Amino acid sequence: MQQLKQFWVAEALEKDLGDPGNPNSMMSFKQVMDLDEKEEFPDEIIDWLYNWKLQHYYIPTECGGEFTGFDEFISFVRVLSRRDQTAGIAFTTMFWSYLVWMAGTEEQKQNLASFMKDNNGTMCLAYSEKAHGSDLLGGDMKATKVEGGYLMTGEKWPINRATRSGVSFVLAQTDPAGGPRSLSLFMVEKSKIDPAKYSNLPKILTHGIRGSDMSGIKFDHCFIPDAMRLGAEGTGLELALKGFQITRALCAAFSQGAADTALRTTLKFALGRKLYGKTVFDMPQPRRTLTDAFLDILICDCCTYGVGRGFSTVPEQISAWSAVVKYFVTTTLETVVNNVSVVLGSRFYMREAHDWGIFQKVLRDNAIISMFDGSSIVNLHALLLQLRQLTKSRARNAGKNLEALSTRLSTTFDLTQTLPAFDGKKLELVNRGGDDVLQGLELAIASLEKLKSDSNLNPDTLYQIITFTEIMREELNSLDVEITESTFQFGHEQEPEFFDMARKYCVLHAAAACVYTWIYNRNHLGEFFANGEWLALSLRRLMLNLKPAKALPGRIDDSGVTQEMIRLYNEDRMFSIVPFQLAKSQLEETSTDASPKLQLQT
């Protein structure tokens, strides 16, 4: 078994779900494709997951559940999502329970925990409205105060699981005067309100995640008792924005599951398919495409686990980190799926060919991840509003409290360290105290310099890692100047140049997250991880976003990375910096040449 405890749940779940390539397994590709073709909700899968008691891992231990940390959570959501994003997303709407764990009364927490554990209950998030989209304050849903509660009137749409959920988290206007304190959040328990006063809207037909219960909900002077209000009246927007910091960061796990399957099924094809007397994989161009996809997954891994653990170590910084990850990881992995589709050739577009056509489903399903819970643009906007303060904090904190910074970074990135318990009350609407990830670049460079005496490291690889990290520092310095020189404005008509600055910031944050992940885990994630070739290659990939290739050190030999990818494929391990064990594929399924006899041309 994996020595890192936070991966045990994911491994156990994998084992019990079985090989997705075996049609008889739960959540097999065959099963999820059949459901998708019929646009049917995955009831059987969801029931199975409840019986497995996976919902307990959404409930913090102090509320009677098993949740201990977001890195564990991210890992098992990847497991669901690599098989079926439709079911994965449907089951994981439960992560909005965080609104209650953060702001609920003891009674509300107990209520919800028991609803999830004992009644296989689920919930949905009813924020958006047809006419207002992301403009939460512009909504028309009203909750008018009456004796003992509120009368709720209005419509929320589109909502994932609106019809099937027993609890809807509804954002409604409690102060007709408007403004940021005009909204309150309600945990509406359908079983306790008058069924004549609310209705579910028809299923919405969608491009991907076709079996989803995508609909809406409508209230008509529906009495909602005071006990269903979360937090004080007027705190709805604040709570909603803090809740998004959690759900947005965790959305990355959906994309990582999808990217794993996209790469795995394409590799299977490339290794087995012969053309011009060779396998597709033997040809340099497809091999490079697949290796780069693997590198992108590793890069995103470092960011996702970083923010997952950062929730516990630096909650006051997460407003920036979660926007970075929601933007960067989901869009990068969308690109990964697109890039590898070329290797699969026309099969990527076929609905039955190759692994039951799972690739085209991944492509369709995954396209929504960068859009929901705040689109890419919404996330970049959330970040760009904080850029000036981030820049100022970086200057203000430069060279100060280095010991504390170093301790925070090592607790965040060293996967063997025990995390403090997450406290949602410590989340802040805007970043407090800067961004440790970029603040620590000088420390990172100093740590890297010290590794020059490590005889186990290839000096060329280390040289590249140091050089790219220095380039990051230069790029960050010039970005800071760019931010400072820009004439910032409020409002929603931000210049496109600001979005570009926010994008650059995301790339730099991601690159730095990779460097720390390596520095702090070199001794316990195996030889491939430790030798750092993957890091040098990843940093080069990232810096290509900021500089032309000729301005960067040349690409080092990537055959070691390619070999590792094949090893993980052959051993059925997650494509990840922590390649935990997946369900073993059955022999008859791997009738292609994807066996150890495969020789890499090194």
Q: What mask, x for binding other proteins by CB under 8 A, covers residues 180 to 219?
A: xx--------------------------------------
For residue 181, the minimal CB distance to other proteins (Å) is 5
The one segment of 56-64, 95-103, 185-193, 378-386 that binds other proteins by CB under 8 A: 378-386
The Cα–Cα gap between 52 and 56 comes to 9
Question: Token digits for 588?
Answer: 């008859």
- Which residue in the set 128, 173, 379, 386 belongs to the binding site for other proteins (CB under 8 A)? 386
Position among 388, 524, 555, 573 found at the interface with other proteins (CB under 8 A): 388
Which residues, 6+ apart, have CB-to-CB distance to 585 below 8 Å?
Answer: 19, 21, 572
Is 389 a binding residue for other proteins by CB under 8 A? The answer is yes
385 is a site residue for other proteins (CB under 8 A)? yes
Look at residue 598 and give its three-state secondary structure: coil
Residues listed for the chain: 602
* Among 75-83, 172-180, 224-232, 333-341, the segment contacting other proteins (CB under 8 A): 172-180
C-alpha torsion sign, points 37, 40, 43, 44:
negative
Which one, 342 or 481, has the nearer CB to other proteins?
A: 481
Q: Does 373 bind other proteins (CB under 8 A)?
A: no
* Tokens standing for residue 215: 């609909």
476: how many CB neighbours lie within 10 A of its CB? 21
Pick 403 or 485: Cβ nearer other proteins: 485
Q: Which 3 state secondary structure label does DSSP give 261?
A: helix
153: which strand partners? 142
> Whose Cβ is closer to other proteins: residue 332's or residue 393's?
393
- How many angstroms separate the CA atoms of 133 and 249, rounded? 20
Long-range CB pairs of 271-276, under 8 A, 24+ apart, other chains included: 271/566, 271/569, 271/592, 271/593, 271/594, 271/598, 272/592, 272/593, 272/594, 273/592
List own/partner pairs for 173-177 with CB under 8 A and 24 or more apart.
173/139, 173/140, 173/141, 173/142, 173/143, 174/143, 174/144, 174/145, 174/150, 174/233, 174/234, 174/236, 175/233, 175/234, 176/142
The 36-55 contact track toward other proteins, x by CB under 8 A, reads --------------------
Which residues in the 461-480 window bind other proteins by CB under 8 A? 474, 476-477, 480
SS3 call for 149:
strand
With CB under 8 A as the contact rule, which of the stretches 91-99, 356-364, 483-491, 511-519 interacts with other proteins?
A: 483-491
Q: Percent helix, strand and coil across the chain, each rounded to 5?
A: 60, 10, 30
Chain residues 405-434 in contact with other proteins, contact rule CB under 8 A: 428-430
DSSP state of 217: E
Judged by CB under 8 A, the number of residues near other proteins is 37
Binding mask 505-544 for other proteins (x = CB under 8 A): ----------------------------------------
Q: In 59-180, where does DSSP find H-type helix?
A: 70-83, 85-92, 98-103, 106-118
Residue 485 makes contact with other proteins by CB under 8 A: yes
Buried b (16+ CB within 10 A) or exposed e, 521-558: bbeebeebbbbbbbbbbbbbbbbeebeeeeebbeebeb
111 or 431: CB nearest other proteins? 431
To the nearest whole angstrom, how small is the minimum distance from the Cβ of residue 482 to other proteins? 10
Using the rule CB under 8 A, is 398 a contact of other proteins? yes
Shortest Cβ distance from residue 548 to other proteins (Å)?
Answer: 19
| Residue among 16 and 474 whose Cβ is closer to other proteins | 474
> For residues 484 and 595, which CB has a smaller minimum distance to other proteins in the complex?
484
What residues from 131 to 150 belong to the interface with other proteins (CB under 8 A)? 137
Binding positions for other proteins, rule: CB under 8 A:
137, 178-181, 237-238, 241, 382, 385-386, 388-389, 391-392, 394-396, 398-399, 428-430, 474, 476-477, 480-481, 484-492
